[in-house]
Structure formats: C-alpha cells, structure tokens
C-alpha cells in the first residue's frame, strides 16, 4: 500500500501564506468555492435598476457565470483573494492640471497583479511538488471581486461600495480559483457603523443609498467607461477629474488610519500619468496618446474620451488662457470632442470664445455639435459654473 501524506488544509494554508508574503502580498484571504448567491442577487438588482449604466459587458449571463466558481473551474475547492496596496499620498496638485484617480498613477494593475498571482501559484506548486488547477482574475472576468474579498475576510463593504481592508480601500483586488483545499478565513465582522461621510461628499449624488452606486452619475464611470457625450448637467460637477474619481475614498476615515499600509513598489506613481495638463492632452494625436499611456490604465478612456474629459476640465477650471486650445479643438475630427470644446468655451465666456463659437456655428454640420454651440452661446450655461 502506498504511503501518501495529504497535507492538511491548515498546512497548505501556511505554505500559501508564506509564499504570498515572499512575493509582497500582505493582504490575503481564502474562501470556499461555494456559489456567491447574495452577491449575484445584489448585482442583478443593480443591473435591473439600470445602475450599471451602459456597460455593454455587464450582463446577467456574466453575473451568473461569476457567481459560480465551480462552473469556471471544474473541481474548484477554494478561492484565494488578495488586495494589493497602491500609493495614495497625492503630490502637490499643480493648478491648471486635471486629476487622475490614484489607481491609475502607476502601471496597469491587471498585468502586474496577474503576474504576481501566477508567481504565487507557481511557488506553492513547487513547494508542494504538485500541479494546481487554477484560474486567475484581476478585474478582467465575471467574478464579483469585492464579494469574493468580503467572504475571504480581506475586508468589509463600505457604504461607498469599496472593500475596506486593514490598509484602507486604496487597493486592487485579485483572486485565484483553485482545486487546493485551503483553510478559509471568516468574513470580517467590521462595518462602517454610523458613518455616512462618503455619501454627501459625492459631487454627483451617485451613492443613491448605502452600498448602492448609480454608475450613470459616477464620475469614474463617466470619465473612464462612458463613450458618448457626458450629460450637460453633470459636466460642472466633474470639476478637475480628468480620469476616474477618488472623492468617496478621500473622505473615508478608514483610509486615515493606515500606518502599516505600505504601497507596492510595482504601482509607483509615474509623474506623466498622475496628473494631466488638459491643454497638452488636447494636442495629442492618436499615436502620441498611445505612446504616452502605453502600460497605463488611462488608455481605457480612449483617445477621444480623454480629450472629451480634457474639455470638461478646462471648462470647469475657467482659465481663459485655455481659450485658444479650445478654439482649435472646434475643428477636431471628432464631433464628440468638438461638442465638449464648445461647452467649455461657453463656460469660459468672453468675446474671443463667443466669436469662435459663432464662427464655428456657421460651418458645423453635426446636429449635436450645433446644439452644443447654441447652448454655449446662451448665457444660462455659464451660470452653472460657480467659479467662472
């Protein structure tokens, strides 16, 4: 009879934790591969309420698939959930620049964290001298990353819907579904308590209820994922956010108490990405956009989308020195960008802007841009910007 020693769940877990720590993964939890029924229910409710906006890939089918790890990896027994800390201390923000959400200051986390999780599995596999069936996801699959993290004890849900870990919410989440039988963690018992600070702090009122974000109003959605015109009533509320938004995390007291939160070097801020000069962005051609943001999450906004955002930021900053750049942009090849440039000029006001708008109105052929030009030359638009 063969004498095979099967490592216990606890011994396997100890190996996992040791390998994770060697790879700099300090926040690690484990949960079973049981279906995520509650998470799927909440996600379905968000979808049915229209709160997932027009994200074409966020479908009921995706939610179903993501809530059943056993269907993704036959033989799945455990899910390893990790949170990787990214830098959160903002260098002095130069005036005239557009803000970038912290998660996008450094290299694209999808690749960095997936590589790390691959190394983790390779290392554990080597130690155990056995192959491990696994499937890795970092934001790029159907799994409900935050619900996995909650059940694996990595953190608790904040009312801003972020997972609040021992290091706060400035973290990326990733997970590995595996056939290893690992000792699980208990879900965190912590909660926001009576705090509600993130809710009134949201400029657009996107936190429509505790734990519920209406993506249609979320600046992160609007500046990163949304492909068309940004609703005119939301534009002034975007302020100087050029890509993403961090406000509901900046105000969170859990993020203040994070003495032991050491950001992962792999996500160190790149000054070319961490704040953006909107006039410079308007001047980028498609090739220079690709080159400048190679390896950055900012590419997700698309060349057209980022220039649309630059127009909004310039309109909100209200600096008339940006008028010539916006006037040039009235001739842009993209109607989306031209329309937002017209709006921004309306916000800046002044004779130079008005003459340019009137002249553009004579040659413009796109009906939506014509409408934007007309709105921009009516005085009511300008009144919406309190700083202009």
**3-state DSSP call for residue 174?**
strand
Output the smallest distance, CB 288 to ligand B12, in A: 24
Output the smallest distance, CB 35 to ligand B12, in A: 13
Q: Of 91-99, 245-253, 287-295, 380-388, which part binds ligand B12 (CB under 6 A)?
A: 245-253
Residues 342, 348, 352, 358, Cα dihedral to 10°: 30
Q: Catalytic residue at 139?
A: yes
Contact partner, 202, from ligand SF4, ligand B12, none, Cβ < 5-8 Å per class: ligand SF4
Q: Output the residue with the shortest Cβ distance to ligand SF4.
A: 158
Question: Under the criterion CB under 6 A, does residue 157 sit at the interface with ligand B12?
Answer: yes
d(CA 249, CA 75) in angstroms, rounded, equals 38
Exposure letters 30-69 (e unless 16+ CB within 10 A, then b) = bbebeebeebbebbeebbeeebbeeeeebeeebbebbbbb
Question: Under the criterion CB under 6 A, does residue 290 sit at the interface with ligand B12?
Answer: no
Question: Under the criterion CB under 6 A, does residue 117 sit at the interface with ligand B12?
Answer: no
Burial class (CB in 10 A: 0-12, 13-18, 19+), 96: middle
Q: Of 5-13, 15-23, 171-179, 256-264, which part binds ligand B12 (CB under 6 A)?
A: 171-179
Contact partner, 138, from ligand B12, ligand SF4, none, Cβ < 5-8 Å per class: ligand B12
State the catalytic residue, choosing from 139, 179, 319, 328.
139
Q: Give which of 300, 265, 274, 293 is closest to 116, Cα–Cα.
A: 265
Contact partner, 192, from ligand B12, ligand SF4, none, Cβ < 5-8 Å per class: ligand SF4
Q: Give which of 309, 308, 283 is closest to 101, Cα–Cα.
A: 309
DSSP structural state of residue 10: H
Contact partner, 282, from ligand SF4, ligand B12, none, Cβ < 5-8 Å per class: none
CB 242 within 8 A of CB 309: yes
Contact partner, 211, from ligand SF4, ligand B12, none, Cβ < 5-8 Å per class: ligand B12
User: Nearest-5° angle of CA 262, CA 268, CA 274?
Assistant: 120
Output the smallest distance, CB 146 to ligand B12, in A: 4
Q: Count Cα neighbours of 96 within 13 Å in the Cβ-side half-sphere.
A: 7
Helix (H) or strand (E) holding 200: helix 198-201
Q: Closer to ligand B12 by CB, 162 or 276: give it.
A: 162
Q: Of 122-130, 156-164, 258-266, 308-316, which part binds ligand B12 (CB under 6 A)?
A: 156-164
Question: Under the criterion CB under 6 A, does residue 171 sit at the interface with ligand B12?
Answer: yes
Q: Closer to ligand B12 by CB, 83 or 121: give it.
A: 83
Can you name the residues that pair with 275 across neighbouring β-strands?
99
Can you name the residues that pair with 80 across neighbouring β-strands?
30, 176
Burial class (CB in 10 A: 0-12, 13-18, 19+), 123: middle
Question: Under the criterion CB under 6 A, does residue 146 sit at the interface with ligand B12?
Answer: yes
Q: Closer to ligand B12 by CB, 193 or 386: give it.
A: 193
DSSP structural state of residue 231: P
Question: Under the criterion CB under 6 A, does residue 86 sit at the interface with ligand B12?
Answer: no
Output the smallest distance, CB 130 to ligand SF4, in A: 41
Q: Closer to ligand B12 by CB, 117 or 357: give it.
A: 117
Which residues of the shown chain bind ligand B12 in the complex (CB under 6 A)?
39, 42-43, 46, 58, 101, 103, 138-139, 143-147, 157, 160-163, 169, 171-173, 211, 213, 215, 218, 220-221, 225, 244-246, 248
Q: Which residues are catalytic?
A: 139
């Amino acid at each position: 009879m063969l004498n095979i020693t099967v490592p216990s769940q606890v011994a396997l877990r100890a190996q996992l934790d040791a390998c994770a720590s060697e790879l700099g993964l300090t926040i690690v939890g484990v949960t079973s591969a049981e279906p995520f029924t509650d998470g799927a229910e909440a996600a379905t409710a968000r979808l049915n309420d229209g709160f997932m906006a027009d994200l074409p890939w966020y479908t009921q089918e995706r939610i179903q698939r993501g809530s059943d790890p056993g269907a993704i990896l036959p033989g799945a027994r455990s899910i390893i959930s990790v949170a990787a800390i990214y830098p959160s201390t903002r260098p002095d923000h130069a005036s005239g620049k557009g803000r970038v959400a912290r998660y996008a200051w450094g290299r694209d986390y999808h690749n960095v964290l997936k590589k790390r999780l691959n190394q983790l599995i390779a290392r554990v596999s080597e130690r155990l001298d056995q192959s491990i069936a696994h499937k890795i996801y970092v934001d790029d699959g159907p799994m409900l990353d935050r619900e996995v993290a909650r059940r694996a004890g990595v953190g608790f849900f904040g009312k801003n819907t972020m997972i609040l870990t021992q290091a706060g919410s400035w973290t990326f989440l990733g997970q590995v579904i595996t056939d290893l039988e690992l000792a699980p963690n208990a879900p965190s018992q912590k909660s926001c308590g009576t705090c509600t600070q993130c809710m009134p702090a949201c400029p657009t009122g996107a936190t429509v209820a505790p734990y519920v974000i209406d993506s249609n109003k979320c600046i992160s959605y609007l500046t990163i994922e949304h492909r068309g015109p940004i609703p005119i009533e939301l534009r002034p509320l975007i302020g100087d956010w050029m890509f993403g938004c961090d406000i509901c995390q900046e105000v969170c007291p859990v993020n203040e108490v994070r003495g032991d939160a050491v950001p992962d070097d792999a996500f160190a801020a790149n000054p070319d990405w961490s704040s953006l000069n909107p006039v410079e962005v308007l001047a980028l051609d498609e090739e220079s956009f690709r080159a400048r943001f190679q390896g950055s999450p900012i590419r997700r906004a698309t060349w057209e989308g980022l220039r649309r955002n630059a127009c909004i930021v310039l309109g909100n900053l209200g600096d008339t020195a940006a008028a010539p750049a916006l006037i040039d942009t009235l001739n842009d090849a993209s109607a989306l960008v031209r329309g937002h440039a017209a709006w921004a000029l309306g916000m800046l006001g002044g004779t130079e802007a008005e003459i340019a708008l009137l002249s553009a109105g004579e040659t413009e052929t796109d009906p939506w841009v014509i409408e934007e030009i007309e709105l921009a030359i009516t005085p009511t638009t300008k009144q919406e910007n309190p700083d202009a």
